[in-house]
Amino acid sequence: MYEFLDRVDKLLTQKGVKRPWLAKQTSISLHTINGWFQNNRPPRVDNAQEIARALDVSLDFLVSGEDKFRKFDDPLIEEICEYFESLNKTERQRTYGALVNMRYTNLNPPKDSREGGNTAST
């Protein structure tokens, strides 16, 4: 379970937060959270699920380091997903917004470009 706690610590660091933040995001006391780290003992499953929700990762990822439910054949998509997971919540929202905007723009190009790009008036 040592790896579980390492992953939790790494995710907290990536988010730029500490254990008190985790306690506030969950119904778990800071005393209990610190106890897991000091004694290197695993949390109960219900607590582990709350931690996963608060850190915005799957329980499977916290336990095994892998998200077995999300596997792609394309290594580029895997790399993009890993990068996305490393972002904080604000960065994820901005990146997602940019992707949605790109998709919308590609689906609905400006009218003049659909008509051959000729905008010169005669």
What DSSP line would sit under 77-88, residue for residue? HHHHHHHHHHS-
50 with 100, same domain: the answer is no
Give per-residue pLDDT as tens, 59-99.
888 888 876 555 566 778 778 877 888 888 888 888 888 88
Does residue 122 surpass a pLDDT of 50? no
Give residue 48's pLDDT: 93
Does residue 33 surpass a pLDDT of 50? yes
Question: What number is the average pLDDT over the span 32-50?
Answer: 92
6 with 56, same domain: the answer is yes
Residue 118 lies in a domain: no
CB 55 within 8 A of CB 10: no
Residue 95 lies in a domain: yes
Residue 115 lies in a domain: no
47 with 11, same domain: the answer is yes
Enclosing domain of residue 103: 75-110
Is pTM beyond 0.85 here?
no
Give per-residue pLDDT as tens, 91-121.
888 888 888 888 777 666 666 655 555 555 5
By the 10 Å C-beta count (0-12 exposed, 13-18 middle, 19+ buried), 22 is classed as: buried
